[in-house]
């Protein structure tokens, strides 16, 4: 069994849910609480019966199921769920269990944090992306039109249970998407992790949970230094400034892409800017670009889209005084933050994604 991790008041458990004690946590910490499980249609249809029947503390849980996808990560959907919680007479001593991917853990944490000024919540992430990123670190929120996570709060899950059995039903694209965040962790903090991931097959369970834990530990170590993202936590945004611009543009165009794909394209483009600014060596840039070009599909944008993407980037929540803020790397394993770039540099970087 892999050792659990902790930060603030949150505990992260790794392994089979029954082995690592989900039922015991519910029994010991929430013995008289009502349990609400928030999930989506896909996870619900595959996994909800097994989750409920294998944990006696969930036998009377109410299940709220929403459609799958980023398009439903909105304040309107939250309002519907808050109304359902009121109908179920959920109180501040009750607990919400977010069972799904990043949309569910982001939105479920946000819903729990605002309802009656705060309920306890537990995350059980079911995708590689949510296991290594979205479910950990205390960021909760929803999108505002094409703008990612524009409305949200910092609020930690009481527990996060990471069980890689859920990954066996994911397709290759979903696994590729999750790997992007793991690559980011290596690039900003740990060269050996980046190296190990070059030969990592996310569909192979052998050694997978250990690599997931390494990624989570990197994120945890950053978060404990800077929970509210005033300094070093910004390094976790590497790839996300351009990535969110692309992701928001494609969502607005109703041709959505997976978050990890957008982050991978963003890491390539932002590495190019760092290289052109003399912050990153040509060798490092080319190794990053080569891996992303090999492992990920070609970016789904055209040159005529660049100005619209740039406009979205100017509305990014990380910006300061009207300037787009970047997190780059200065070498593999070393993230830097509060970096700038001109519009011309950004447009040139976007060109590298379609050449």
Q: Please give the C-alpha separations between residue 91 and each of 28, 33, 56, 77, 154, in angstroms, as whole numbers.
A: 18, 9, 21, 20, 21
Question: What is the reported pLDDT for 135?
Answer: 87
95-100 and 62-66 beta bridge pairing: unpaired
Judge whether residue 123 has pLDDT over 80.
Answer: yes
* 46 confidence band (pLDDT: 50, 70, 90): very high
Q: Which residue do the tokens 């977010």 mark?
A: 98
Distances from the Cα of 55 to the Cα of 58, 84, 161, angstroms: 6, 23, 14
Is the separation of the CB atoms in 136 and 12 below 8 Å?
A: yes
pLDDT category at 13 given cuts 50, 70, 90 is very high
Largest CA distance in the chain: 59
Q: What is the pTM of this model?
A: 0.94
Rg (CA), the chain: 20
Structure confidence at residue 335 as a pLDDT band (50, 70, 90): very high
- The pLDDT of residue 207 is 95
The pLDDT value given to residue 225: 93
pLDDT digits (tens, 9 = 90+) for 171-202: 999 999 999 999 999 999 999 999 999 999 99
For 134, the enclosing helix (H) or strand (E) is none
pLDDT of residue 318: 80
User: How large is the average pLDDT for residues 118-143?
Assistant: 95
Write out 147-161 in H/E/C secondary structure. EEEEEEEECCCCEEE
Domains in the chain, please, with CATH?
Answer: 5-170 (3.40.50.1970), 173-351 (1.20.1090.10)
**Of the candidates 255, 246, 254, which has an alpha carbon nearest to the alpha carbon of residue 148?**
246
Compute the average pLDDT of residues 237-261.
Answer: 95
pLDDT confidence of residue 160: 98
| Residue 128: other Cβ atoms inside 10 A | 28
- pLDDT tens column, 60-83: 999 999 999 999 999 999 999 999
| Residue 55 pLDDT greater than 90, yes or no | yes
Give tens-digit pLDDT for 227-246.
Answer: 889 999 999 999 999 999 99
Q: pLDDT band at 321, cuts 50/70/90? A: confident
Residue 277 has a pLDDT of: 98
Query: In this predicted structure, what is the pLDDT of residue 346?
Result: 98
Q: What is the mean pLDDT of the chain?
A: 96
Confidence of residue 322 (pLDDT cuts 50, 70, 90): confident
What the block records as the tokens of 243 is 């990535």
pLDDT level of residue 14 (50, 70, 90 thresholds): very high
Q: Categorize the per-residue pLDDT at 347 as very low, low, confident or very high, splitting at 50, 70 and 90.
A: very high
pLDDT at 148: 86
Instruction: Tell me: pLDDT of 317 over 90.
Output: no
Q: Check residue 43 and give its pLDDT.
A: 98
Q: What is the mean pLDDT of residues 258-273?
A: 97
């Amino acid at each position: 069994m892999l050792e659990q991790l902790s930060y603030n008041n949150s505990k992260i458990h790794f392994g089979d849910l029954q082995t690592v004690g989900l039922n015991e946590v519910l029994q010991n910490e929430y013995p008289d609480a009502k349990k609400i499980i928030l999930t989506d249609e896909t996870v619900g249809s595959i996994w909800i019966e097994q989750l409920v029947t294998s944990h006696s503390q969930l036998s009377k849980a109410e299940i709220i199921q929403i459609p799958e996808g980023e398009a439903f990560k909105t304040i309107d959907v939250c309002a519907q769920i808050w109304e359902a919680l009121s109908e179920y007479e959920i109180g501040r001593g009750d607990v919400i269990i977010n069972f799904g991917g990043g949309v569910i853990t982001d939105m479920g944490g946000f819903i729990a944090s605002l309802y009656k000024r705060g309920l306890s919540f537990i995350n059980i992430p079911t995708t590689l992306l949510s296991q290594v990123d979205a479910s950990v670190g205390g960021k909760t929120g929803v999108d505002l039109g094409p703008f990612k996570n524009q409305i949200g709060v910092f609020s930690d899950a009481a527990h996060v249970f990471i069980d890689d059995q859920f990954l066996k039903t994911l397709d290759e694209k979903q696994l590729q998407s999750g790997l992007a965040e793991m690559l980011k962790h290596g690039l900003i903090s740990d060269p050996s992790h980046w190296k190990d991931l070059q030969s990592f097959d996310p569909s192979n369970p052998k050694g997978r949970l250990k690599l997931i834990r390494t990624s989570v530990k990197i994120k945890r170590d950053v978060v404990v230094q800077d929970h509210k993202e005033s300094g070093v936590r910004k390094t976790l945004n590497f790839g996300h400034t351009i990535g969110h611009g692309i992701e928001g543009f494609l969502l607005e165009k109703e041709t959505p892409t997976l978050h990890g794909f957008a982050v991978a394209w963003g890491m390539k483009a932002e590495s190019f800017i760092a290289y052109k600014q003399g912050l990153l060596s040509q060798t490092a840039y080319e190794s990053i670009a080569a891996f992303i070009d090999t492992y990920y599909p070609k970016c789904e944008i055209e040159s005529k889209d660049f100005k619209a993407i740039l406009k979205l980037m100017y509305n990014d929540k990380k910006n300061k005084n009207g300037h787009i803020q970047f997190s780059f790397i200065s070498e593999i394993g070393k993230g830097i933050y509060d970096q700038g770039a001109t519009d011309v540099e950004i447009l040139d970087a976007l060109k590298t994604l379609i050449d």
